[in-house]
Structure 1
């Protein structure tokens, strides 16, 4: 059976679909799994041994559709479920398609009216529900992330002070309302008693320099210096990961790392907390409860709509530092 799995973006969401990829490949007889995503995210899947072929959403829509039609798929599993994927399914109209439930009404109730009707079900399990017609069940193994050998970071690429181990602090996020303010990140990193590697994209490099300037021996700014797979390798080798609700949080979960996640305008109730399958891993969540404005969005904003940004400004940094120290003791 030739199956097309569709998830166009983004980093975290694609990593969260990997149990579907693996379970379809291993549980459906003679399954050949293809994956359609945006070109910028293909690197997440190119090394996945359960994916036979990665298709990319390109500028030439007709050529892409023709290439997909030529594959003669037996089934489509739509894990994005938006207008664009609806067009794709209509273009492949003879192919049976199954979509996951986005729970848009429930998300709207939670963000707009603060009425929580979200089921206590992780998004991974909702993704897997889209494949249950094929007889697929959750194997409990959690997420996958495969790093090609060429993207493994030699320990010598890090400062000597970090060779014996470090805490990875992910300072980046897609939108600002998911990020701790700079002053809070500076307080956090200055308070930690262990070497720190700062992770983020090129857009986070300047903030990283300001954080690292407090102690250039203890804090290494890796933001923008490594590609996604290399950053994932730094996450895999970290003793513990402190992160916002962002893609590298899910990458860390794929490696079964201890995660301390810090939540701003989004909430764990959306069903996208670190996912470990059947594994039991220490993963404390830090959020500011009791705010009438939270969650203000299921995604995020460039700045706080209310102007006060209490969901991050009121985060208890000493408590986060204490959680790091406790977590480090668990791995020693």
Structure 2
């Protein structure tokens, strides 16, 4: 059988890229004579490289591949790879331009159905039911290209090996490793820091856990303050590369996260994930991959009946600024200890 070569396109963002990982893994596990190359931003290359067999080509969309002329240049750099089909997992203007260019060379494509009309109904209150997951939407693109993608047959890889530098940060003791990603891009998706600090303080006092905080440059000062205030607590930003951070996440016993990228970086590797939800809701299709429904702690919808007010957390009506305060820190602590105790020692 002649081998096929698919170009999968997904330029952003971290969470969306991570959601695609199990789909790509199943695709390659379940289809012979298939090669997959992913076109993405260089920052996301380590995410896709967790999938054995996937090759990555990086588009510098802020630099030399910016705009139409840049995309023409990017096309010229990759067209020699003789792709037989395009899987557009993004559905953006950039991916549409690339698909058109490849179509001139006879390379057909399939594009993700984002379910925009259903999502509009969900956030407008006209409908309240679970929508198709983003993972399944990605899988449908490859199915439309004629390939098997059975997510029930997914085989998670073992935890990745972490280097000595990472161990020097987190230590090698026998404590359970709990990742905590306390930040989100939008305030209405972020659990109030004063309440999260109560969770961190309690877990720190037990002396049973190694708490590893995740965040970015905007949160560096808070990450440093929390790690210096509470024992058994550290953070990784600026200390190790994003690639090493992904490897570290694969070794966690548990990740606690908002509805954000870190939840998906953990879930794609088979790590247990507790998620905290504000004005967004799992029904929109972004619940972390293969996580039990009970691991999602939702804001009080009886008190805030308009939830979900948006798909991505960027819109909230007046009076909804404190929506996540309806999740008591005691409830988070209880769920963390419940999940940790349910795991083999």
Q: What TM bracket, shorter-length normalisation?
A: 0.7 to 0.9
Stretches of structure 2 lacking an aligned partner (at least 5 in a row): none
- Deviation sequence 1:90-119 (CA, Å, 0-9, x none): 1111211111210011111222x2222665
Q: Would the alpha carbon gap of residues 43 and 145 (structure 1) be closer, same or farther in structure 2, given more than 3 Å must change?
A: farther
Report SS of the residue matched to 1:169: strand
- Please say if residues 200 and 224 of structure 1, whose CA atoms lie closer than 8 Å, have aligned partners that are also in contact: no
TM-score computed with the length of structure 1 as normaliser: 0.87
TM-score computed with the length of structure 2 as normaliser: 0.84
Q: Would the alpha carbon gap of residues 11 and 120 (structure 1) be closer, same or farther in structure 2, given more than 3 Å must change?
A: same
Report SS of the residue matched to 1:68: helix
Q: Would the alpha carbon gap of residues 116 and 142 (structure 1) be closer, same or farther in structure 2, given more than 3 Å must change?
A: farther
- Which residue of structure 2 aligns with residue 51 of structure 1? 54
**In 2, Cα distance between equivalents of 1:149 and 1:255:** 13
Q: 1:271 aligns with which of 255, 263, 285?
A: 285
Q: 1:104 aligns with which of 113, 116, 130?
A: 116
**In 2, Cα distance between equivalents of 1:164 and 1:55:** 38
- Please say if residues 16 and 143 of structure 1, whose CA atoms lie closer than 8 Å, have aligned partners that are also in contact: no
1:138 and 2:150 are equivalent in the alignment: yes
**In 2, Cα distance between equivalents of 1:269 and 1:185:** 24
1:181 and 2:196 are equivalent in the alignment: no
- Which residue of structure 1 aligns with residue 272 of structure 2? 258
- Which residue of structure 2 aligns with residue 167 of structure 1? 178
Q: Which range moves more in the overlay, 145-154 or 89-98?
A: 145-154
Q: Would the alpha carbon gap of residues 31 and 297 (structure 1) be closer, same or farther in structure 2, given more than 3 Å must change?
A: same
Alpha-carbon offset, residue 189 of structure 1? 0.9
**In 1, Cα distance between equivalents of 2:200 and 2:326:** 17
- Which residue of structure 2 aligns with residue 212 of structure 1? 227
**In 2, Cα distance between equivalents of 1:199 and 1:67:** 35
1:69 and 2:79 are equivalent in the alignment: yes
Alpha-carbon offset, residue 308 of structure 1? 4.3
- Which residue of structure 2 aligns with residue 156 of structure 1? 168
Alpha-carbon offset, residue 285 of structure 1? 0.7
- Deviation sequence 1:156-203 (CA, Å, 0-9, x none): 32257x653332111132333221122111122112233322111222
Report SS of the residue matched to 2:127: coil
Q: Would the alpha carbon gap of residues 149 and 286 (structure 1) be closer, same or farther in structure 2, given more than 3 Å must change?
A: closer
Report SS of the residue matched to 2:176: coil
Report SS of the residue matched to 1:135: coil
RMSD of aligned alpha carbons: 2.7
Q: Would the alpha carbon gap of residues 155 and 14 (structure 1) be closer, same or farther in structure 2, given more than 3 Å must change?
A: same
**In 1, Cα distance between equivalents of 2:13 and 2:41:** 9
Alpha-carbon offset, residue 144 of structure 1? 6.3
- Which residue of structure 2 aligns with residue 298 of structure 1? 311
- Please say if residues 6 and 35 of structure 1, whose CA atoms lie closer than 8 Å, have aligned partners that are also in contact: yes
The size of the alignment, in residue pairs, is 325
**In 2, Cα distance between equivalents of 1:145 and 1:173:** 28
**In 2, Cα distance between equivalents of 1:143 and 1:201:** 31
1:319 and 2:331 are equivalent in the alignment: yes
Stretches of structure 1 lacking an aligned partner (at least 5 in a row): none
